[in-house]
Structure 1
């Protein structure tokens, strides 16, 4: 029986930390050994930004991966189930979570990803690419100047998600208020932190920055509980 794995990144990776490959290296280390990992970038949340895809292909060159990009706005892949199952890793980029989910569902990519997840294809992503795997999330999809709850994720992971927990001024307060007021409990990840889930359970938290971490957020009697999670820094801490 294969494991189902998701690496949910609050921020970081090639698009935010082009000179710091620690999170992306960790992701690649999860792929099956013995061959160059097949990694597919899904830039739906950015409207299939060509610049974003070019950054991915540059960061995941042939010395690191067999890299491809799956576009849905100019779709050339007829059989999404077959294509996704051929990959070792699906890497979802950031952008608009609500639009990502809507486009995926129109094309049937949501069901293709769920099937691939069950069959051992590793799912990963940053920001919107973190949000999408959970039941619910905090998003600026409807107004880039404010945040709103989105109770409409794929639900491959239970609860809710909040990326950029320390990177955007409104994130922390908004998420804590929502969880205290009937929003699903869940996980917050700072920029540079990533939560690694195996078979639906959190197995480890890793970071590309020495102080970055993630939190389990739950409601409390009078205020929410913000529990920092043990985090493994992937770099070398200076003596």
Structure 2
């Protein structure tokens, strides 16, 4: 019996016991329509409420408008949670808003700044409560890196550096794995030097579904994009390509 089948049987057993599955769907690039549609499917709802967090882009109006544009035609109720606000414009807390959602999607941008704001506003705590409640969590680029224990980021000047994540997933992570030439060699180097743990890397158009902290399947929007499990063995890097399910 293969590993994936064993995992599926394990999760079916948990469902039978009434336990809540914690779903986290990450991808290497920016938010797109196909990944939003797949996130909606993960909720099991007909018209799910999906909240977009554009914190990493500084609540960019362009990004927010883009979110609503790509949600057009999808059977979802799109929401946005901005953090650049004042008290008089809000009638509920960040936590109250997030815990009403069926899914939460985090956009790309500056990972380091986003995490600093989340911690200052206790949004990181609210997101953990949402995840533990079974609300589907998703995101790409900064919105994928943030859920892991650590990874490489371009959030600081001059060069890629390491940033610690929220640790929802106990692996390291590398987004934009094949599209940015410095990402892959630096990720390999950091794992070999024990600066990062073994982990998962994603091309821009590929992602991975984690359930209860376990990688269940790889998903891509085309046949040329992949996700990988990257680990050290006997002083060498092993790059295990995960065969994806193509979604459209």
TM-score between both structures, scaled by the size of structure 1: 0.90
More helix by share: 2
Matched, 1:2 2:17: no
**Secondary structure in structure 2 of the residue aligned to 1:100:** helix
Pair member with larger Rg: 2
Mean CA deviation greater in 201-210 or 59-68: 59-68
Gap regions ≥5 residues in structure 1:
15-20
Choose the corresponding residue for 2:60, options 39, 42, 49. 49
Choose the corresponding residue for 1:28, options 31, 36, 40. 40
Residue 149 (structure 1) shift = 1.2
| Alignment coverage as a number of residue pairs | 226
Change (3 A) 1:55 1:207: same
Choose the corresponding residue for 2:183, options 171, 175, 189. 171
1:191 matched residue in structure 2: 204
Deviation digits for residues 9-59 of structure 1 (CA, Å, limit 9, x no counterpart): 101532xxxxxx3322211111123x3110100000001101001100111
Deviation digits for residues 69-111 of structure 1 (CA, Å, limit 9, x no counterpart): 1011125364222211110110100001100100000000000
2:75 matched residue in structure 1: 64
Distance 1:78 1:72 in 2: 12
Choose the corresponding residue for 2:219, options 180, 198, 206. 206
TM-score between both structures, scaled by the size of structure 2: 0.87
Matched, 1:127 2:141: yes
1:221 matched residue in structure 2: 234
Choose the corresponding residue for 2:152, options 129, 132, 138. 138
2:14 matched residue in structure 1: none
On the 8 A contact 2:31/2:139 being kept in 1, the answer is no
On the 8 A contact 1:180/1:223 being kept in 2, the answer is yes
**Secondary structure in structure 2 of the residue aligned to 1:25:** helix
